C-alpha cells in the first residue's frame, strides 16, 4: 500500500496510490490504520474504481459500514471519480449530503477533493 502525501490547509492528506482496493470492512480498517501510522494524515483520497461496486448500491449497506469506520476513527475520506452518470436519487442524495458534511466527499479530481476536505 503506497501513499502520496499532499499538503492541505488544516492537515496533509494521503492519496492512495497503487492497486489497493476496499472490498471489505477489514480492508477499510487496514487502510485507515496504515494511513494514520505511515503518514500521520487524518484524511485520505481513493479513486472510485478502488471501491467494491457494492459501495455504490446503497441497498447493500456496504457504504454505511465503510463510512461508519471512517467516522469512528476520525478519518476524512475523499472519493475521486466521475459521478455524473449516477442516476439514482438515493445515491445522488447520499453524495450531496456527504459533500455538505465534508467528512466523506465525492469529487471529480484529487485537487477538488483536497480543497473540500481542507475546509
Please, which pLDDT band fits residue 27 given cuts at 50, 70 and 90?
very high
Domain CATH number, residue 107: 3.40.525
* Confidence (pLDDT) at 85: 81
Strand partners, 51: 22
Q: How far apart are CA 49 and CA 62, in angstroms?
A: 15
* Confidence (pLDDT) at 18: 79
Sheet holding 76-80, edge to edge: 2-6, 13-17, 43-47, 76-80, 104-107
Q: How far apart are CA 36 and CA 32, in angstroms?
A: 6
Please, which pLDDT band fits residue 7 given cuts at 50, 70 and 90?
confident
Strand partners, 47: 80
pLDDT digits (tens, 9 = 90+) for 68-103: 999 999 999 999 999 888 778 898 999 999 888 888
Please, which pLDDT band fits residue 107 given cuts at 50, 70 and 90?
very high
Q: What is the pTM of this model?
A: 0.92
pLDDT: which is higher, 10 or 31: 31
- Residue 45 domain boundaries: 2-117
Domain count, the chain: 1
* Confidence (pLDDT) at 78: 96
Amino acid at each position: 500500500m503506497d501513499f502520496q502525501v499532499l499538503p492541505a490547509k488544516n492537515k496533509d492528506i494521503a492519496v492512495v496510490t497503487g492497486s489497493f482496493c476496499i472490498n471489505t470492512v477489514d480492508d477499510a480498517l487496514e487502510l485507515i490504520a496504515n494511513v494514520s501510522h505511515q503518514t500521520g494524515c487524518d484524511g485520505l483520497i481513493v479513486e472510485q474504481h478502488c471501491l467494491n461496486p457494492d459501495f455504490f448500491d446503497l441497498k447493500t449497506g456496504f457504504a454505511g459500514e465503510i463510512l461508519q469506520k471512517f467516522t469512528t476513527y476520525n478519518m476524512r475520506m475523499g472519493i475521486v471519480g466521475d459521478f455524473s452518470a449516477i442516476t439514482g436519487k438515493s445515491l445522488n442524495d447520499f453524495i450531496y449530503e456527504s459533500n455538505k458534511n465534508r467528512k466523506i466527499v465525492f469529487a471529480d479530481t484529487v485537487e477538488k477533493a483536497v480543497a473540500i476536505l481542507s475546509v
